[in-house]
Each structure stands twice: as C-alpha cells, then as structure tokens.
Structure 1
Amino acid sequence: MSWYDDRPWMDRYEERVRRVGDIPARTALDMFESAVVTAGDGPAVRYLGGTLGYREVDQLTDGIAAYLLENGFQRGDRLAIYLQNIPQFVLALIGTWKAGGVVVPLNPMYRDELAHILTDAGVTAIVCSESAWADRVGSRASEAGVRIALTSSELDIQTSDDERLFRTVTRARSENVPDLLEVARVRAGATVPDPGLTPEDIALVSYTSGTSGVPKGATNTHRNLTVNSAILRLYEDKPAGAPIFALAPLFHITGMVCQLLTAIDLASPLILVYRFEPGVVLDALERERPIFMVGPSTAYMALMAHPDFSGERFASLEAVMSGGAPLPPAIVERFRELTGKYIRNGYGLTETSAPCVVVPPNLEAPVDPASGTLAIGLPLPCAVVRIIGEDGKDLEPLEVGEIAVDGPMVVPAYWNKPDATAQALPGGRLLTGDVGFMDAEGWVYVVDRKKDMINASGFKVWPREVEDVLYQHPAVREAAVVGEPDSYRGETVAAFVSLRPGTTVETADLVEYCRERLATYKAPRRVEIVDELPKTASGKILRREMRRRAPA
C-alpha cells in the first residue's frame, strides 16, 4: 500500500460525486434503451435544423441491425464508421450494437491509414459518406475484405444547406452501395433478436491517434464506456433533456463518451454541426442553447479568434470542459475574461475510455507555481492515478515520473497486440507514457510525453513548459515546441507559432520573451511563424510534423 491507495483526492469531492460506487455495470445498449423509455419522442439528435427523436432512433436502428443480420453480420463482427458529426454516426453506432457487433470509429481524414486499420481490425462492414466511398474508401475496403458497405450523405436530415459547411459537398450515390437511411427506414421497427451483450463485451475498437507511432486498437468494453459516461452525469448533475453540444468529433473517444454517451445517459439531445467551423459553432451555440460542451483547447482558441466571437453566445453553458489537447493557463483566463465561463480541464486517453482525471464542478484547477503548469484535475473517484519511477515504484508527492492509471475505465487490451498489451497494460494498469506529478491533495499535473523530452546539452527541456510561456504572449494563438538536431548540443529548442488575427511580432522578440521567463537552455533558439499548426482531428497539435521541418 502507498499513499495513492488512500486516494487523498476524495476529500475534495462533493458527496454526490462520491456515490460513483453505486454505478451498476451495464452495456451502452442498456443505457440507450433506458433513454428511449425516459425521453420517448423527445429529441435525440438536432442537426442544423433537422431532428431525430429517441423513439425514431430506436426504430431506425432496429432497421439497421436487421439489415446487417440479413447480410451475414454476426455477434462480435466489426463495423467501421467513417463519418463526420452527423446523425447517421449515431444510427450506425447503435444499430451495430443491436446486431451484437463492435464499432471501429475512424477518423474521416484518414487515407492510407484506412487500409491498415480495416485489415488490422478484420472489419466486416463499413458506413461512410457517399463522396468518401467513391473517392477513397471503396477500393481500400475491397482490398481489406470488407463484405458489407453502406453510405450516407451529410446533406440528409439537416435543412440549413449552410455554405460554410457544404460548399464543396455534392451527392455521389453509388448504384452498388445501399444508403444507410433508406435501409433503416424500410426496416424501421423490425424485430431483432437480443444480442446478449454483457458489460465486459467489447463495444469499440478505438484506434489511437498515431501521434507516437502506428495506431493500435484499444478495446473499450461496454463497462468502460458506461462507467465514464455515468461519472460525468454525476459530476455535472444536469436535468434529463438538457442539450449537449458536440464540439469534439464523435469518432474520438472524448466525443464518443463525454458528448454522445453522456447525452444518451441524460436522455438529452445531442447538438451536431457536421464538422468544426468556428462561425457555424458560434451560431449554433446561440441558436441551440446547450448547457454542456467539451472540446480541445485549440477549438476554444479558434472560436476566440473568429470575428463573430462574443461572450453572449456562450450564455447558456453551465459547464465548459477541455479535453484531447493540453490546456494552457493563459487560454483559460482569456476565455473567462471574454465569456465569464471557466474552462475546466480534463485528462484521459483512448485507453482510459476518455476521462480519468477531471476538475470537479465546484473547484478550479491550481497552477503549479514552479513551472506555471495548470493542473489537469483530480483522479475520478473510481480511479487510482499514481506517479511511478523508472523502476515502476510509486513516487512521493511532487516527484516527477510516469502517470499510471488503474480503474474500471481502463481497457483490458489492444486488439490482437499481446506484446503491446503486456508493455502498456501490465496487470491491467495503464502506463500512459505521459510524464507528470501529483501534489499531496491529489491534483495531477502533466509535464509532457516521455518521447517529446528535449535533451539540450544534457539538460531536460519539456516542450509544454516553453509552450505555456509562449501562450502568455498577446500575439501568440498557437504554439508547438520541438527538439531539433544540433551538432554541439545534441538537440536545441525550436518553436513554431501561429499568431492571433491582426497581430504581428518579430521572431527575435519571441525568443527574448522566453529568455526573460525561462532558464536560458529552455528558451527557443529558433522561432518560426506559420499560418496554421498541423493537428489531429481531435485538435491535438502534431509535434512530429514540426520535427520534420527541422533543418538538416
């Protein structure tokens, strides 16, 4: 036993949140069926002027399940979803579970990665947009042995025809591939046999973003997903039917659990806007009046930089959370100054089925006085988060080491990867690869990824620390810091920044700004100003892309 096992963070929680031990083990399908009973014809999805009710979704997903079973889909088979944030994503997800299947959510920006994932997961069926099937999915799905394909259009259900979203979207129906909505409507309300799912069955094979190598499939069980969505419901204590806004992509574990499944758990409508376009998001917030939103820090930066931004558009929100990308303290304060809303930090991985550390609703995250790093939160009541050394032993408060997680949200394995499972999930504990520390009250701080550490003349430099300083500069919108080869020092610190609209700054001034606030060896020796930093679809800045731009 160590001090982590005593869970000192529990003293910081309100009593209602401590009731997490009362959450029963259940499947995501059980959760949806409960929502149908609670909400009835109430809205399940609102999409740019169109609406689907819970009872309607129930009937349509019966139709999808019936079609899959008619075509030889069996319990445990995998169905890949390659869609943006549209209602058909929700229909395909629930329909697959009703057929006893496992969903493989795919990033719709994937190209060559598709072949690897479709083959690695042994995908039987796929749902994608019409245009994606014709452009890039059809040939790759055929090569990977996918037997069942359904397409759908992002223009269906919605009524806005917003040029900002759909300017380049056209109909591209294939004669050989059925339409998901047509299939569902023809068979709506069909009698489907009980798939017999259990909480320990795999619900998703969620592929990691690949920021640290070839994507691996994390096997998120139904219990993993429903425990975390129930925790968020307890955390937020919102009434049934309160609208949830989908800022993060649904294929990402943050969007899947913190938005879609949390909305289902609340029997609430999920607000979808196809994809992230700042002006569209701002209009939808004002029109739909959601009470809860979660997304990456980069999305909040983009919203604040938009010319139509105003604090009034966020008036209905009772909870604003960040996840999926590091949250600089300067962004939290700038957002609060402009909107009056505090962004609560959170931390999780695909392997923890979204959050395992979150700032509770009644608290604000402290900032470490030594490094200026914002705490990511307190461990969830049912999780044990610890900091371990290179020898695997628990470290004391404030000592820096690797973050490890135990709890019911941790996946049991990687799909068909026993060696990777043994390495990252020994005995069921997740070794995250993130470096951080915990204070005596249980607040957790992330320093950086182990592999991103810069070694400059033997000195350790964590990119996050330098990035947090750059974010304090009034001209900087986004920042990424990487190590570049240096013949004398081994590595040297380089920074890439994009600027806020209407601002200018000299790169030498940014170097000096960092030198005034950091040890000399931590300050970047080279700064490059770019129009936009490359990101994953979940909003995480891709440092590896910046490393490729390093001088030889």
Structure 2
Amino acid sequence: MTSSVTPQWVSSYPPGLSAHLAVDATSLVDAWRRRVAAAPDRSAIAYFDGTVSARRLDGLSDAFAAALQDRGVTHGDRIGILMQNVPQYAISFLALWKLGAIAVLLNPMYQGRELRHLVDDSGVRGIIADDQLHPATVETVEGSRVEWIVTTSGLEYQTRGDPRVFGAHAAAQPSPDGDMAQLIHEYEGRRPTEPGLALDDIALLTYTSGTTGPPKGAMNTHGNILTVATTTAAWMGVEPGDSHLAVAPLFHITGAVIGAATPLLHDTTLVFVNRTDPAVVVDAFAEHRVTCTTGSITVFNALHRVEGAGAEHFASARTLYSGGAPIPPATVEQFRERFGKYIHNIYGMTETTSAVIAVPPGVDAPVDEASGSLSIGLPMPNLEARIVDPAGTPLPTGHQGELELAGPQIVPGYWHNPQATAGTMPEGRLRTGDVAVMDEDGWVYIVDRLKDQINVSGYKVWPREVEDVLYEHPAVYEAAVVGRPDPYRGETVVAYVSVKGGETVAEEDLIEFTKQRLAAYKYPRTINVIDELPKTQTGKIRRRVLRDTPQEDDT
C-alpha cells in the first residue's frame, strides 16, 4: 500500500487482522517447501477415494519437473495447462514453478481460434492436456510454436470412477509426446535443478478479455500470488488440517489462486471433483468435511437445486464465498434458509490476482438502500482502494465513480502489451472499469460496469467476440450482443441480428451456429432477428438500447 494511514475499514476486519500482512516466503516454491516440512504426511490432495500427502505430492512434482527439464523447459518458458480440476493441475503448477517456468492457463472449453489465440500470443513451448482433449488440441496448434503435448487422464489418483463424473469415460491413447504418469514413473526420485526465483518472476499467465480488444495475458507473479494467498488465508481463518474444495475452475484466476495456491501453501487438503457436478459437490462436502470453498453464483444455485441436499452436508463448512458477480440478497437468504450457511461476497479480477475485496467471515454484508444490492465487502489487507472520477481524482465517500486499486496484488502488466498496460494500470494503479460506491465504513458496492463485458457464471464474455462469429454466418447483415440479468448465471448472452436482403434464417439455427464455434458459456441463449439495429447518428450500433429492450419473457 502507498499510504501509512490505517484505513477506516480495518475496524471491521476479522479479529487480530491488520491492514498490512507481510509475505515472508521468497517464492511460491519456497512457501511450498515450508508447507511440506511443517507436515509432510498430512493430506495435500483428496480426489474421490484417493489422497496424496504433501510429501508424495512434492515427489510427484519433482519427478515431473525433472522430466520437463530434460526436455529443455527452463526459467521463463511458457507451458500451457489444458484440463479440468484434477490432481494433475496441482502437480503441473508445482513442477513448472520449480523450474521457474510460467503456467499458461488454458480454458478446456475453448475451441479452434479461441485456443489458438492464447497459444500464439503466449508462445507456449508445450501443453499439458487432458487425454480426452488431445486430438482436438493437436489440430488446433498445428503450425504453431508448440513442440509437444503431454497428456494425462482424469481417471488417475482415484479408483471410484463415479459415473456422475466419468460415465463411460476410459483413458484415451496417450500422446506420442509423452504421458504424465509414465514420465513421473521414469523420473521417480529425481529432483530438478531449481533456478533462483524472485518475487517478481511470473508464475501464471492468465488471459482476460479487455474492453478494447482480444484477450490479454495478465502476468501474475510469485509475489502477487503469495500476497493474495497470504491475505486470503488470514481473512478466511485457514487452519492446518482444513479442507478446501476446488469448485472454481483452475483455468480461471479465482480457481488458480484461491482454489489451489492458497490451500496448497497452507497445510490444508485441496479437494478435487474434476468437472463440477452439483450432486458430486454436495457429496464431497460431506465426505471430505470441507471447511471452505469459493465458487460462482451458478455453483451455489446449482447446489440449491440438488434433491436430497441438506444442512448435514454442509455441517463442516465455516466459510462459503462467491466471486465473479455480486450475489442477489434473495439468493443468499434462500441458501441460508435451506442449508444454514451464509454465502459471502468476494471480489477480484485477473489483474488483481483474484481476491482483494471480501465480506468478513461470519458477517452479513450490508445492503445498499438505493439499489438493493449486497456489498461486495471491505478492501482486504495490503490493498489501497478508492473511488475516482474519469480524471483519476479521488471522490468523497458515497459518490459514484470508478473503483481504483493499488497494492502488491496488482499484476505488473499484460504480456507483451505495454499499451494496454499503460491504459489499464497507469502508474501501477488498476482502473477496474467498475462503477462503485464506498460508504464511510469502507464497504464497497458495485453499481454498474463501464465495460460492455458480460459476466456469465463468473466468466467474462466480450460482445465483439460473439458478434464476429455471428458475422461469419452468410445470412447475417449486422449483429450486436448484450448481457441480460439471469437468476442462474448472473448474466446471460443475448444477441440481436438483422439479415441480408432476400435472406432468412431461424433463430435456432443461429444459436447452433455460434454453439459450434464458441465456448459453452459464450454462445447466445437467445437471438432476436429484427429488421434493423438501432444506431447513433454516426452509424454506431447502440447496445444500450438493445440491453434495455424488453423480452417476451420479461412481460
């Protein structure tokens, strides 16, 4: 933080927590080694009926790191990870960090050019992929700089084979470039030669859509992640032996940092359930005595719908957090009424390395009288937060403006994109693009977004990306995409199109067209074919008019 004055919100912090928390580890690897030394035989991972101790996980990641090092992977290399929430994600993180390499988080829902853009922009040398995704990945990266694809199976590290997750799933043919399990077996007992690591070394390259162009790679450093892991663990009251369930996808910054790095570095068990199935998650809470999880509004809505789920399944839970979008008060109360647990809001961005504002555990967030929205929380330790006008001048308490953040959680910039870095983080201060209000006690309320991005279940959707796909359809003349409030996803994608003269197209056909070309959360659930899109006098399509247009189901 840049100010030595204690902020007013610290008085509402969890007991014993101060405005400043020191990070004493020199790197993520140093922090991990300390965790292993403190309790080597404590469970570090649970995956259905399988468990992995901290000592064993250290050995597995050492062996995999040694194998990758023999392939030439070295400090600063970018290696993609393309898989669901499985133990191999943790192995890959630790192995890459031990080499000083950068883990590039790749969304397994991405297809074709979506994935290829990230591969090309980051310049990944290799990819660690789920074996089920191998054939499509090979096709996507053909002609790129990718030298190898090592595969792994979600069936490993467990024997239960829960049909709700795996169905008739069988391990696919391993990649000719190598299989993770086989490589670990071949290199068992070996340790890599570790480079000297510094807090400003990049640990993750996490892609986020900006307001003016394609996805940009945020450079999350060892120091960024250590700061957030330290403050989050202190904020949530993490204790040795706790059990943290990873429901947020690890290819997303929330899952990578709160869901994985924080429990891995703090002597707790990281519980994996592969692809999130609501009924499986409910069972995992009870089986593994889960104490904490962070997920999107969609996850908690889905849990609420699981038949037979009751308060007994969540008896061990101390803290439940929801990120990605503020939860409506009604959702919080419905969940608490059924399960006896309060869902706390938590706020972060890819550029803040995840959580930086949160509701303290055991505290009900205040509700803004004007909008009826729940507060997203208080600024967490080591963060400077303020509301500013368009010129960057701080505004008085209670005034609407843009939320601006500064502190060691903020990334140093975007990968090979100094122009975007300067525009979004002038002088290291992050302009979030969120319109917010802060009250006299430091509670922050999100009022609106400056951006046109759509927030679907915690994932960001850039309208231009969807529009570009619609324009590929031969019948489409003009297209505009907006977000609409959705009780299940937070927001849903809605498109408006006009067609070329003499052409006709069914809305269902357009939906299917986009579905085949976009990640599942991106394609429009509703497409309206209209005669003409509203425009300004200069010919620009007026998205706001479309956003405010009533739908048939609104009446």
Q: TM bucket by the smaller chain?
A: 0.7 to 0.9
> What is the alpha-carbon distance in structure 2 between the residues aligned to residue 546 and residue 325 of structure 1?
19
**How many Å separate the matches in 1 of 2:401 and 2:314?**
38
What are the residue-to-residue correspondences of 1:12-411 with 2, within 5 Å? Answer: 12-18=12-18, 20-24=20-24, 26-112=26-112, 113-134=114-135, 136-174=136-174, 176-208=176-208, 213-411=213-411
Q: Decide whether the 8 Å contact of 2:246 with 2:255 is kept in 1.
A: yes
2-side partners of 1:538 and 1:237: how far apart?
36
Partner deviation per Cα, 1:321-359 (whole Å, 9 max, x = no partner) = 111233111111111111111111110000000011011
User: For 2:150 and 2:404, how far apart are their aligned partners in 1?
Assistant: 40
| Structure 1 pair 342–427 and aligned structure 2 pair: CA distance change class (3 A) | same
Separation in 2 of the partners of 1:388 and 1:109? Answer: 36
> Judging changes above 3 Å, is the alpha-carbon distance between structure 1 residues 478 and 41 closer, same or farther for their aligned structure 2 residues?
closer
Q: What is the distance in 2 between the residues matched to 1:370 and 1:175?
A: 57
Residue 246 of structure 1 contacts residue 272 of structure 1 at CA under 8 Å; is this kept in 2? Answer: yes
1:550: Cα distance to partner? 6.6
Partner of 1:249, secondary structure, is coil
CA contact (8 A) 1:402 1:435 kept: yes
Seen in structure 2, the aligned counterparts of structure 1 residues 451 and 304 have a Cα distance that, compared at 3 Å, is same
Shift of the alpha carbon at 1:270? 0.5
The residue number in structure 1 matching 2:505 is none
Displacement after TM superposition at 1:483 (Å) = 8.9
Q: Distance in 1 between matches of 2:150 and 2:493?
A: 42
Output the CA distance in 2 between the equivalents of 1:214 and 1:54. 39
- 1:116 maps to a residue whose letter is H
Q: Aligned-pair distance for 1:210?
A: 6.7
Pairwise CA distance, 1:289: 0.9
For 1:35 and 1:238, the matched residues in 2 are separated by 14
User: C-alpha displacement at 1:253, in angstroms?
Assistant: 1.0
Residue 465 of structure 2 corresponds to none
Say if 1:77 and 1:101, in contact at 8 Å, map to a contact too. yes
Q: Which amino acid aligns with 2:29?
A: L
**SS in structure 2 opposite 1:226?**
helix
CA distance in 2, matches of 1:209, 1:256: 17
What TM-score do the two structures reach when normalised by structure 2? 0.82
Secondary structure of 1:413's counterpart equals coil
Counterpart check, 1:545 vs 2:515: no
Name the structure 1 match of 2:428. Answer: 428
What does 1:419-498 correspond to in 2, within 5 Å? 419-452=419-452, 467=485, 477=488, 480=491
Q: Hey, what's the Cα distance between the residues in 2 that align with 1:71 and 1:478?
A: 42
Residue 500 of structure 1 is matched in structure 2 by none
> What runs of 5+ residues in structure 2 fail to find an aligned partner?
455-481, 499-510, 533-555
Question: C-alpha distance in 1, partners of 2:222/2:417?
Answer: 20
Q: Deviations over 1:121-141 (max 9, x none)?
A: 01011100112011x111223
Give 5+ residue unaligned stretches, structure 1. Answer: 455-462, 472-476, 488-529
What corresponds to 1:497 in structure 2?
none
Aligned mates of 1:437, 1:272 — CA distance in 2: 37
**For 2:358 and 2:175, how far apart are their aligned partners in 1?**
48
Residues 282 and 308 in structure 1, CA contact (< 8 A), matched pair in contact too: no
Mean Cα deviation higher: 12-21 or 97-106: 12-21
Deviation at 1:11, TM superposition (A): 2.0
Aligned match of 2:467: none
Shift of 1:480: 3.5
Q: Structure 2 CA distance, aligned partners of 1:2 and 1:265?
A: 27
- CA spacing shift, 1:111–1:8, aligned 2, 3 Å: same
CA distance in 2, matches of 1:111, 1:77: 24
Separation in 2, partners of 1:117, 1:329: 37
Distance 2:245 2:307 in 1: 21
Q: Distance in 2 between matches of 1:16 and 1:248?
A: 29
TM-score under structure 1 length normalisation:
0.82
Cα distance between partner residues in 2 of 1:174 and 1:266: 34
Q: Distance in 2 between matches of 1:332 and 1:137?
A: 40
Shift of 1:188: 2.0
In structure 2, relative to structure 1, the CA distance for the partners of 1:257 and 1:175 (3 Å cut) is closer
* 2:134 aligned partner, one-letter code: W
Task: Label 1:362 to 1:173 Cα distance change in 2 as closer, same or farther (>3 A).
Answer: same
Superposed displacement of residue 484, structure 1: 8.2
CA gap 1:486/1:131 in 2 versus in 1, 3 angstroms: closer
In structure 2, distance between residues paired with 1:29 and 1:176 = 30
Contact 1:365 1:376 in 2 (8 A): yes
1:304, distance to aligned residue in structure 2 (A): 0.5
Distance 2:490 2:196 in 1: 48
Please say if residues 273 and 281 of structure 1, whose CA atoms lie closer than 8 Å, have aligned partners that are also in contact.
yes
State how far apart, in whole Å, the 2-side matches of 1:12 and 1:167 are.
Answer: 47
Residues 401 and 437 of structure 1 are in contact (CA less than 8 Å); yes or no, is this contact kept in structure 2?
A: yes
One-letter identity of the residue aligned with 2:354: A
Cα distance in 1 between the residues matched to 2:211 and 2:278: 25
Q: Decide whether aligned partners of structure 1 residues 4 and 296 sit closer, same or farther in structure 2, where only a CA change above 3 A counts.
A: farther
Bigger shift: residues 23-32 or 292-301:
23-32
Query: Is the contact between residue 297 and residue 323 of structure 1 (CA under 8 Å) also seen in structure 2?
Result: yes
* C-alpha separation in 2, matches of 1:484 and 1:142: 32
Q: Which residue of 2 aligns with 1:515?
A: none
Call closer, same or farther: CA 1:106–1:175 in 2, change over 3 Å. Answer: closer
Q: 1:342 to 1:11 in 2, by over 3 A?
A: same
Q: Residue type of the partner of 2:202?
A: I
Once the two structures are superposed, residues 165-194 of structure 1 have per-residue CA deviations (whole angstroms, 9 ceiling, x without a partner) of 112523221451211111012212213212
In structure 1, give the amino acid aligned to 2:377. Answer: G
Q: Distance in 2 between matches of 1:106 and 1:302?
A: 25
Q: Aligned-residue CA RMSD in angstroms?
A: 2.9
Identity among equivalent positions (%) equals 38
- CA contact under 8 A between 1:20 and 1:231: conserved in structure 2? no
Residues paired across the two proteins, number? 486
**CA positional deviation for 1:401:** 1.3
Distance 2:19 2:402 in 1: 29
Cα deviation for residue 386 of structure 1 reads 1.0
Give, as a single letter, the amino acid of the residue that structure 1 aligns with 2:415.
W
Please report how far the alpha carbon of residue 42 of structure 1 lies from its aligned counterpart in structure 2 after TM superposition: 1.9
The equivalent residue for 2:506 is none
Displacement after TM superposition at 1:439 (Å): 0.7
